[in-house]
Structure 1
Amino acid sequence: MVYAIFTASVVAAIGAVYACAVGWLWFRQERLLFEPDLLAHDEPICADPDTREFFIEVPGARLSVAQLRNEKSRGVFFFLHGNSGNLKKWFVELDAFRKANFDVVMFDYRGFGKSSGQIESEEQLHADVKAVWEHFAGMYEGKRVVIAGQSLGTGLAAGLSAQLSAAGRTPDLTMLVSPYSSMRALAAELYPWVPLQVLRYPLHTLEHAAKLLGPVMLIHGDKDELIPIRHSEELCTAMGKGKCKPQLLRVTGAGHSDVHLFPTVRKALASALGRL
């Protein structure tokens, strides 16, 4: 009897600890998913004379935006960055776009860099992406449009491309660097003990992938331990069953954080922009 009572007490204690851990994850997952770095308002994002920075107002926040402008612009490379840092980290290595006569537009999510506010939901993230895109859409009417994302930004980029395709404004290229099939699937791999219902940012890239039209380029390092390359393979298979034309570039030796530094990736980017 004593043993049974002791066992029941241990099980109850473990259950209580588990419930507390799950509850903590529910309310604090923004701190786990997003790793923003703040940037002082008087610190420039980029000092190049052909770039500019400004803010776009969205409900409850001001989003920091950086833009490279080419005099003979053929189009725009609209890029959604990963889950860490700020635009000073991501708005770099612009010469490839200058050579291809492409403008570049990036923005910081809420709480990143100079952007105000805090990320509160996946719906809010998608709404912010759409608001920033709509600010520039008219400027690039009739020109080439590339919607791109890296890591966290790939789910958002796929969602925007799917929306544009459904509205009859199919991007000329969708580029996903180190994408995940869904954040829910990735979380199940990394944290199998956590109930999937706890994740408030499922980011179902795979669902968007089935709705994409036009060319799609996926780029993934074969040594990526955070988001394994099988996520890109799954996306590529799903897209191949739809109406888009997927291409998967496997980057030999590349991990998650360094894939964009490999010469094969830079060459593929220059070639893709040159063909548009």
Structure 2
Amino acid sequence: MGETLLRFLGLMVIGYVGVCSMIYLVQERLIFFPERDPPGTRYEFGLPVEEVWIPVDGAVLHALWFRQASAQGVILYFHGNGGTLRSWGEVAHDLVPYGYDLVIVDYRGYGQSTGTITSEAQLHADAAAAYHWVLSRYPEEQIVLYGRSLGSGLATRLAATYRPRLLILESPFYSVEAIARRQFPWVPPFLLKYPLRSHEWIDQVRCPVVIIHGTNDSVVPYADGERLAREVTAPLAFYSIAGGDHNNLMTFRSYHDAIREILER
């Protein structure tokens, strides 16, 4: 009986280690959902737009640059973990009418960006490269950082490192680590390669912070946005989109009212 129990426990340990190892090895597939745009893809949104290429270590990031005459600034937009510029370019209709240029970047392996995502440090380095590309063309006091979902972590880290005019976070997480612990509470935290701990950076942000979150968010709970907001030490505006889910805030008038209020300040 004792040997049987030991054998059973040994098999349980082996199984547990095996599952944890698998999660560690495939976690990029659990977090990132890249799609590809073939060369020659036309990006047409009814607005003047230019394709640009931003060199990074070992790869090149593809971006769209919406430009207009006499812009009062620029919005550097970091999108969520799925889709490409082919779909994300639609956000230009919500943002550029308020007198801003807009730069949207595809992550490595997304759209026509080359390379693959292999570490959180790499993600932040690529985001910094995009920021410096924008900074070489606009004064820093005219730069607005906009992070949506996955992009909220990258935008928060940038805002803590540099001094943009404004940080806007849509459907932000407290950290990817917190989400992972809810979904996989039995997995040791040290196995997470992409903890993206926004809560550890946001109290270092000195520019005004705006958080927009749907109350019915089924991916990143509304409570995560509230929890992150409590860590903000800079001037904060929090917009609750009643009934809003994770991917449909743009269908709510209250979202557009919030964007108008934010960008017409």
Specify every segment of 5 or more residues in structure 2 that has no aligned partner in the other structure, as ranges. Answer: none
User: Which residue does 2:88 correspond to in 1?
Assistant: 90
> 1:9 pairs with 7, 10, 23, which one?
7
- Asked if the contact 1:184–1:199 (Cα under 8 Å) also holds between the matched residues in 2, the reply is yes
User: Which residue does 2:52 correspond to in 1?
Assistant: 54
Q: 1:260 to 1:49 in 2, by over 3 A?
A: closer
Q: What is the alpha-carbon root mean square deviation over aligned residues? A: 1.4
- Asked if the contact 1:62–1:116 (Cα under 8 Å) also holds between the matched residues in 2, the reply is yes
- Asked if the contact 1:217–1:246 (Cα under 8 Å) also holds between the matched residues in 2, the reply is yes
Note the alpha carbon deviations across 1:125-156, whole angstroms, 9 max, x for none: 00000111101213111652210111100010
TM-score of the superposition, structure 2-length normalised? 0.96
Offset at residue 49 of structure 1 (A): 5.3
Counterpart CA distance in 2 for 1:177 and 1:78 is 13
- Asked if the contact 1:146–1:173 (Cα under 8 Å) also holds between the matched residues in 2, the reply is yes
User: Which residue does 1:65 correspond to in 2?
Assistant: 63
Letter in 1 for 2:3: I
The answer to whether 1:177 aligns with 2:167 is: no
Letter in 2 for 1:51: V
Letter in 2 for 1:172: R
User: Which residue does 1:105 correspond to in 2?
Assistant: 103
Instruction: Number of aligned residue pairs: give it.
Output: 265
Offset at residue 38 of structure 1 (A): 0.6
Letter in 1 for 2:80: G
DSSP-derived class of the 1:210 partner: helix
- Asked if the contact 2:215–2:245 (Cα under 8 Å) also holds between the matched residues in 1, the reply is yes
Counterpart CA distance in 1 for 2:111 and 2:140 is 32
User: Which residue does 1:167 correspond to in 2?
Assistant: none
> 1:230 pairs with 214, 223, 248, which one?
223
Note the alpha carbon deviations across 1:141-186, whole angstroms, 9 max, x for none: 165221011110001000011111xxxxx22211011111111111
User: Which residue does 1:249 correspond to in 2?
Assistant: 239
User: Which residue does 2:117 correspond to in 1?
Assistant: 119
Offset at residue 98 of structure 1 (A): 3.3
Counterpart CA distance in 2 for 1:193 and 1:223 is 27
Counterpart CA distance in 2 for 1:179 and 1:49 is 28
DSSP-derived class of the 2:231 partner: helix
Counterpart CA distance in 2 for 1:47 and 1:261 is 18
Counterpart CA distance in 1 for 2:207 and 2:197 is 20
DSSP-derived class of the 2:146 partner: strand
Letter in 2 for 1:23: S
User: Which residue does 1:264 correspond to in 2?
Assistant: 254
Letter in 2 for 1:226: V
> 2:213 pairs with 190, 200, 220, which one?
220
The answer to whether 1:18 aligns with 2:11 is: no
- Asked if the contact 2:45–2:90 (Cα under 8 Å) also holds between the matched residues in 1, the reply is no
Offset at residue 257 of structure 1 (A): 1.6
More displaced 10-residue stretch of structure 1: 93-102 or 179-188: 93-102
Counterpart CA distance in 1 for 2:103 and 2:149 is 17
TM-score of the superposition, structure 1-length normalised? 0.92
Counterpart CA distance in 1 for 2:104 and 2:203 is 25
The answer to whether 1:28 aligns with 2:21 is: no
The answer to whether 1:210 aligns with 2:167 is: no
Specify every segment of 5 or more residues in structure 1 that has no aligned partner in the other structure, as ranges. Answer: 165-169
User: Which residue does 2:36 correspond to in 1?
Assistant: 38
Counterpart CA distance in 1 for 2:50 and 2:13 is 53
The answer to whether 1:190 aligns with 2:180 is: no
